[in-house]
């Protein structure tokens, strides 16, 4: 049951957090608007269209980026103000135990962490889908460094443990490609080979239609060949999976991301650490809200000569260290062989130890 102390600290905690989040998000929107002003003009979209086609996705995205840091800064700010007024000294002198004083911080951080976790699993990916679709068409498409987004040269895929396919010049608009081949392997030997001049997605049958087909079945020294004008083939590959999407990991909800990683592992795809780190990150980052809240409360509840200014400086430096450590661990995983789960959770592990050290060294 909430008592006066809980309501008092929670009101300051949540009020400061949401106000700071709103202010920083507004500043981010203004900066982003100034940077993309030329792209907005070239898009020829009205103000309402920009809101519904871009900012409705951008705002949740930027909030998710700064959520843990804003929590930390908010705790540092209002707690240092309370410490400057000797409120914590009065609370502890009144017989309230130090652990009891930290309870509203813990309650508030858990509430924010659960809210952030739900958003990271489902809401933010849907917002990212809106934002990145606009980014790909109206921003990346205007870049002189961007190649034609509708064509790629060659594709090689492993559709299951024994089947490999490849084709050239896949057109993502018409969903067609040329020079298709498929090979099936058994005991490290090719026993089936299929080639076609063209492959096209058939939306009615939800499979691929091949034209000018040549099939070869190999059994030791015997080979059987069959030619057909056309045939339908189920490759267990959807057209959307073939288009290169640099924002794919941000657009998939957590169940979709699980399914995507599973299918790519079945196909033997490499370079999945980026997606695995993103998957684990969606659990690790909300947990960091709790850790950063406790560190902020422990550090800023002490009355020091520098006041809130020194507390804020400590908070900003600590937040910067956390971000740098997080970026380094993610980079080592995506570019190297660092385990994805450890990469996502390493900053939390280290800062949990820091929180425990600060807790035991704090006068109570």
Is the pLDDT at 146 greater than 70? The verdict is: no
Model pLDDT, residue 153 = 63
At residue 280, φ and ψ (nearest 5 deg) are -70, -30
Model pLDDT, residue 364 = 65
SS3 (DSSP) at 194: strand
Is the pLDDT at 193 greater than 50? The verdict is: yes
Is the pLDDT at 145 greater than 90? The verdict is: no
Residues 6 or more apart from 39 whose CB is under 8 A from it? 138, 139, 142
SS3 (DSSP) at 97: coil
Model pLDDT, residue 254 = 93
Cα separations in angstroms, 141 against 133, 274, 304: 11, 24, 53
pTM over 0.75: yes
Once rounded to an integer, what is the mean pLDDT over residues 34-58? 89
Model pLDDT, residue 305 = 63
Cβ atoms of 339 and 333 closer than 8 Å: yes
Q: Distance between CA atoms of 192 and 24, rounded to whole angstroms?
A: 60
Residues of the chain above pLDDT 90, percent? 38
Question: Which tokens sit at 184?
Answer: 């099936």
Is the pLDDT at 308 greater than 70? The verdict is: no
Q: Distance between CA atoms of 181 and 216, rounded to whole angstroms?
A: 11
Residues 6 or more apart from 103 whose CB is under 8 A from it? 6
- For residue 306, name the pLDDT band (cuts at 50, 70, 90): low
Cβ atoms of 337 and 276 closer than 8 Å: no
Once rounded to an integer, what is the mean pLDDT over residues 155-164? 80
Model pLDDT, residue 45 = 85
Model pLDDT, residue 150 = 43
Once rounded to an integer, what is the mean pLDDT over residues 323-331? 84
Model pLDDT, residue 162 = 83
Model pLDDT, residue 174 = 80
SS3 (DSSP) at 242: coil
Residues 6 or more apart from 264 whose CB is under 8 A from it? 272, 275
Once rounded to an integer, what is the mean pLDDT over residues 129-148? 71
pLDDT in tens, 230-287: 999 888 787 766 766 678 888 899 999 998 888 878 777 777 888 999 999 999 999 9
Model pLDDT, residue 149 = 44
Model pLDDT, residue 60 = 94
Cα angle value 135/278/36 (rounded, 5°): 20
Q: Render 286-300 in DSSP notation, one character per residue.
A: HHHHHHHHHHHHHHH
**Which range has the worst mean pLDDT, 12-21, 153-162, 202-211, 213-222?**
153-162
Is the pLDDT at 192 greater than 50? The verdict is: yes
Best mean pLDDT range from 54-63, 203-212, 257-266: 54-63
């Amino acid at each position: 049951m909430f008592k006066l102390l809980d309501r008092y600290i929670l009101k300051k905690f949540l009020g400061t957090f949401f106000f700071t989040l709103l202010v920083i998000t507004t500043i981010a929107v203004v900066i982003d608007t100034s940077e993309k002003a030329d792209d907005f003009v070239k898009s020829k979209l009205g103000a309402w269209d920009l809101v519904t086609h871009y900012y409705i996705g951008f705002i949740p995205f930027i909030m998710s980026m700064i959520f843990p840091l804003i929590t930390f800064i908010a705790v540092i700010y209002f707690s240092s103000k309370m410490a400057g007024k000797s409120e914590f000294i009065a609370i502890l002198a009144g017989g309230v135990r130090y652990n009891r004083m930290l309870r509203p911080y813990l309650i508030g951080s858990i509430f924010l962490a659960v809210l952030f976790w739900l958003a990271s699993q489902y809401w933010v990916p849907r917002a990212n889908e809106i934002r990145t679709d606009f980014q790909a068409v109206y921003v990346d498409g205007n870049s002189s460094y961007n190649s034609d987004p509708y064509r790629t040269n060659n594709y090689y895929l492993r559709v299951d443990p024994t089947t490999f396919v490849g084709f050239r010049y896949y057109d993502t608009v018409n969903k067609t490609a040329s020079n298709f081949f498929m090979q099936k392997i058994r005991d490290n030997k090719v026993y089936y080979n299929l080639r076609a001049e063209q492959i096209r997605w058939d939306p009615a049958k939800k499979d691929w239609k091949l034209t000018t087909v040549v099939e070869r079945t190999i059994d030791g020294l015997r080979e059987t060949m069959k030619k057909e004008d056309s045939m339908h083939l189920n490759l267990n590959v959807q057209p959307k999976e073939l288009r290169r999407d640099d924002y794919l990991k941000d657009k998939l909800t957590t169940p979709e991301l699980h399914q995507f990683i599973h299918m790519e592992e079945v196909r033997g795809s490499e370079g999945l650490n980026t997606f695995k780190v993103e998957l684990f990150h969606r659990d690790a980052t909300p947990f960091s809200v709790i850790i950063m809240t406790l560190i902020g409360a422990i550090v800023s509840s002490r009355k020091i000569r520098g006041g809130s200014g020194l507390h804020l400086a400590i908070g900003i430096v600590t937040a910067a260290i956390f971000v740098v450590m997080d970026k380094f661990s993610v980079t080592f995983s995506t570019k190297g062989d660092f385990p994805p789960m450890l990469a996502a959770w390493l900053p939390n592990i280290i800062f949990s130890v820091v929180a425990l050290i600060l807790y035991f060294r704090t006068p109570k």
